[in-house]
């Protein structure tokens, strides 16, 4: 399976999701950046778009170009998965909206309202934006006033970060320590949370990844 992976920032790689795609699904990942991104999905069986410091509402040429790529893939019923910024970009491509939120979410959190336990978590959150999807989309996870996961046709988006390993979380905390403080955390506490969640919850994470692909239209192998 050929997978087009759009890594929108060096700090937000495919991580654990990329490893799972390669190991569990035998995928070949074609990693691109906003600068090297093609104009369409080409022959990829799956498009994955990842996190970024930017917001999907920003007026930047590469954001508009990627939105068109995603909209075209979804219109062609090509499986698409978006994480954090990627989910926001999918939402805006299908008639939804992304905007700065009233607070920033950092740390390992459960999801209050989930369509299935697989979405409930706890999952690592790291975002400060609010996400809305059109009525034609199915919200499968919602918490604290914003969408955490949704499904629309061949597309699935999640605001939380199941792909992040402990090193990624540590780098993010070092980059914006005030985000940690706003959520009552420090670097050591975040490290402990990550250690307690990432390895012990490997099976839950695998189940989530499988469900994301199933909803996007890729059956189990």
CATH of the domain at 205: 3.40.50.880
Selected catalytic residue, list 7, 127, 130, 163: 163
Our count of domains for the chain comes to: 1
For 59, residues 6+ apart whose C-beta sits below 8 A from its C-beta are: none
Q: Report yes or no on 221 lying in a domain.
A: no
Residue 135 confidence (pLDDT): 95
Q: pLDDT band at residue 3, thresholds of 50, 70 and 90?
A: very high
Q: Report yes or no on 51 lying in a domain.
A: yes
Q: Report yes or no on 13 lying in a domain.
A: yes
What gap in Å lies between CA 216 and CA 214, rounded to an integer?
Answer: 5
Q: pLDDT band at residue 219, thresholds of 50, 70 and 90?
A: confident
Average pLDDT over residues 141-169: 95
Give the least confident one: 24-28, 90-94, 171-175: 171-175
Could you read off the pLDDT of 57-71 as tens digits, one per residue? Answer: 999 999 999 999 999
64 is catalytic: no
What backbone torsions phi and psi does residue 99 show, to the nearest 5 degrees?
-160, 160
For 22, residues 6+ apart whose C-beta sits below 8 A from its C-beta are: 28, 29
Selected catalytic residue, list 84, 127, 130, 211: 84
**Residue 221 pLDDT exceeds 90:** no
Selected catalytic residue, list 7, 151, 161, 211: 161
Polymer length of the chain: 221
Q: pLDDT band at residue 206, thresholds of 50, 70 and 90?
A: very high
Joined together, the tokens standing for residue 18 give 């990329």
Average pLDDT over residues 49-56: 96
Q: Report yes or no on 191 lying in a domain.
A: yes
Q: Report yes or no on 8 lying in a domain.
A: yes
For 35, residues 6+ apart whose C-beta sits below 8 A from its C-beta are: 62
What gap in Å lies between CA 127 and CA 129, rounded to an integer?
Answer: 6
Q: pLDDT band at residue 103, thresholds of 50, 70 and 90?
A: confident
Average pLDDT over residues 90-116: 94
Q: Report yes or no on 58 lying in a domain.
A: yes
Cα distance between the two ends of the chain: 11
User: Contact 218/201 with Cβ under 8 angstroms?
Assistant: no
130 is catalytic: no
Q: Report yes or no on 186 lying in a domain.
A: yes
- The DSSP-derived string for the chain is -EEEEE--STTS--HHHHHHHHHHH--EEEEE-TTT--SS-TT-SEEEE---SS-TTS--HHHHHHHHHHHHHHHTT--EEEETHHHHHHHHHTT-EEEEEEEEEEEEE--SEESSGGGTS-EEEEEEEEEE--TTSEEEEEETTEEEEEEETTEEEESS-TT--HHHHHHHHHH-HHHHHHTT--HHHHHHHHHHHTTTTHHHHHHHHHHHHHHHT----
* Domain containing residue 72: 2-216
Residue 120 confidence (pLDDT): 96
211 is catalytic: no
**Residue 145 pLDDT exceeds 90:** no
């Amino acid at each position: 399976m050929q997978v087009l992976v759009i890594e929108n920032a060096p700090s937000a790689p495919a991580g654990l999701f990329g490893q799972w795609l390669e190991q569990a699904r035998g995928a070949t990942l074609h990693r691109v950046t906003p600068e090297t991104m093609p104009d369409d999905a080409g022959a990829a069986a799956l498009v994955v778009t990842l996190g970024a410091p930017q917001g999907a509402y920003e007026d930047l040429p590469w954001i508009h170009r990627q939105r068109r790529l995603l909209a075209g893939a979804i219109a062609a019923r090509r499986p698409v998965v978006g994480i954090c910024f990627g989910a926001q970009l999918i939402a805006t491509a299908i008639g939804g909206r992304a905007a700065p939120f009233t607070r920033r979410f950092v740390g390992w959190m459960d999801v209050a309202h989930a369509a299935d336990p697989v979405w409930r978590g706890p999952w690592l959150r790291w975002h400060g934006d609010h996400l809305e999807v059109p009525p034609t989309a199915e919200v499968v996870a919602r918490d604290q006033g914003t969408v955490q996961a949704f499904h629309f046709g061949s597309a699935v988006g999640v605001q939380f970060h199941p792909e992040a390993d402990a090193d990624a979380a540590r780098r993010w905390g070092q980059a914006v320590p005030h985000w940690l403080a706003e959520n009552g955390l420090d670097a050591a506490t975040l490290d402990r949370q990550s250690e307690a969640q990432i390895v012990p919850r490997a099976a839950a994470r695998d189940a989530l990844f499988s469900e994301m692909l199933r909803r996007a239209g890729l059956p189990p192998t």
